[in-house]
Amino acid sequence: MALKRVVVTGLGALTPIGNTVKEFRESLFNGVSGAVPITRFDTSLHKTKFACELRNYDPGNFFDRKEARKLDLYCQYAIISANEAIKDSGLNLEKTDKDRVGVIMSSGIGGMGTFEDEISAFARGDGTPRFNPFFVPKMISDIASGQISIKYGFRGPNYCTVAACASSTVSLINSFDHIRLGRAEVMVVGGSEAPITPAGLGGFNSLHALSTRNDDPKTASRPFDLDRDGFVMAEGGGALILEEYEHAIKRSARIYCELVGGGLSADAYHLTAPHPEGSGAALVMINSLKDADLKPEAIDYINVHGTSTPLGDVAEPMAVLSVFKEHAYKLSISATKSMHGHLLGAAGAIEAIACICAILDSKIPPTINHFTDDPQIDSKLDFTFNKAKEREVRYALSNTFGFGGHNATVIFKKMDA
């Protein structure tokens, strides 16, 4: 059976450095940091007091009051980014076979804010179980896919993949497979997350995973820097429209790029720490290259997981060197989390869009906030520190790794002239 080709025809983004793809794209190449003091709740007792919050977000601009009350923030973000991507794709929904359109919108956590609010209210009460009737459907992590399918009438494959911070990259791979195997013609795919809550912040602080650079939030995310001290939590959503190539050509769609490969692997090592030699990270890149039928030398750019954590930022470059050998020194590499923060389950979707922007603009987004080299990290690798760089990108690879040792990688290709 010949596999069908899969292309990207629509993009949507709601991020701390831009509430649309256009805004995100501009900030991405200008090295803008989205880190700010948290405004949503009192952080006086927390170790970390900042995050990458959305700017000027008002649910009333997208939902009526009654509808917004039924949707956790993570679900709102998913719907908004999906709406932008669908509109951007130019799909004629009246002429589209909705039986052949699926939705996979992922979240690593789901409705944490809803869960926290409801349990807190119960704990403050007299023990009577008075819960909002929308408690469960607001909270569950699959509901974003359900809401989008209901809104548009899409009846194809519909679910949520959960693989911690690799979640939305797994959703991309699943959607890729559905289309190339002929199970669907169009997939709305991506991820969203709304983890900036007292429990979310406190939980990651207890793991010593977050930066505590409260005196200078904008430079707190420092991937590969000697003085990095953890990641910066972020919120938002990202969505892509994947489409079968002939289907896109038939309707004269604008095609951004082609998705040509995806890989999965497990570290099988530790709940939260990466394998110290990056073996799982190396395997997932090897698997994605095999799936795309590419040699390592074909890759021009890697958007690395690069979270600004002490262990992860050492292991991933080791994995890159083990897979790409001497070609590793010819690659352009960047960790865009230095700007938009770590969107957890939505990270893969946002960073896939960053890869696509690199392909479209022939430009490598920077890894900002680099001040001091780490002797444990090969300084001859090109991490595109602090400033964007012009470069043609024919193939871009995006890595995402999640707690539990979940690894997922996708490869995008520039469309041939």
pLDDT digits (tens, 9 = 90+) for 141-192: 999 999 999 999 999 999 999 999 999 999 999 999 999 999 999 999 999 9
Counting residues of the chain whose pLDDT is more than 90, the rounded percentage is 99
Is there a common fold for 7-250 and 260-413?
A: yes
- 0.95 surpassed by pTM: yes
- C-alpha to C-alpha distances, 42 to 38, 201, 217, 276, nearest whole angstrom: 8, 11, 16, 37
pLDDT at 261 (0 to 100): 98
What average pLDDT does the segment 17-29 reach?
98
Reported confidence tier of residue 61, pLDDT bands at 50, 70, 90? very high
Whether the predicted pLDDT of 51 surpasses 60: yes
Per-residue pLDDT tens over the stretch 211-256: 999 999 999 999 999 999 999 999 999 999 999 999 999 999 999 9
Rounded (10°) CA dihedral 172, 174, 176, 179: -140
Mean pLDDT for the chain overall: 97
Record the tokens describing residue 306, joined without a space. 């690069």
Q: Give the Cα separation of 340 and 46 in Å (integer).
A: 21
- C-alpha to C-alpha distances, 256 to 107, 190, 227, nearest whole angstrom: 25, 16, 37
User: What is the set of active-site residues?
Assistant: 165, 305, 342
Record the tokens describing residue 137, joined without a space. 């459907």
Q: Give the Cα separation of 292 and 411 in Å (integer).
A: 7
Which class would CATH give 260-413? alpha beta
Q: What is the DSSP string of 272-338?
A: SSPPTT-HHHHHHHHHHHHHHT--GGG--EEE----S-TTHHHHHHHHHHHHHGGGGGG-EEE-THH
Count of Cβ atoms closer than 10 Å to residue 412 Cβ: 27
Q: Which residues contact 282 (CB under 8 A, 6 or more apart)?
A: 319, 322, 323
pLDDT at 149 (0 to 100): 98
Per-residue pLDDT tens over the stretch 372-408: 999 999 999 999 999 999 999 999 999 999 999 999 9
Q: Where are the domains of the chain?
A: 7-250, 260-413
Among 395, 324, 333, 338, residue whose Cα is nearest residue 364? 333
Is 311:274 a contact under the CB 8 Å cutoff? yes
Second-level CATH architecture of 7-250? 3-Layer(aba) Sandwich (3.40)
pLDDT at 258 (0 to 100): 98
pLDDT at 1 (0 to 100): 75
What average pLDDT does the segment 337-344 reach?
98
Among 302, 330, 277, 265, residue whose Cα is nearest residue 396? 302
What average pLDDT does the segment 293-298 reach?
98
Whether the predicted pLDDT of 22 surpasses 60: yes
> How many whole angstroms from its chain centre is CA 346?
4
Which residues on neighbouring strands pair with residue 264, listed in sequence order? 408
pLDDT at 209 (0 to 100): 97
Interhelix angle for 312-324 vs 279-292, to 10°?
40
Record the tokens describing residue 276, joined without a space. 């110290």
Q: Give the Cα separation of 348 and 40 in Å (integer).
A: 25
Q: Give the Cα separation of 362 and 392 in Å (integer).
A: 4
Among 414, 409, 393, residue whose Cα is nearest residue 172? 409
Q: Give the Cα separation of 191 and 171 in Å (integer).
A: 8
Q: Give the Cα separation of 35 and 16 in Å (integer).
A: 8
pLDDT at 14 (0 to 100): 98
What average pLDDT does the segment 293-322 reach?
98
Per-residue pLDDT tens over the stretch 96-109: 999 999 999 999 99
Backbone angles phi, psi at 374, to 5 degrees: -100, 120
Per-residue pLDDT tens over the stretch 31-41: 999 999 999 99
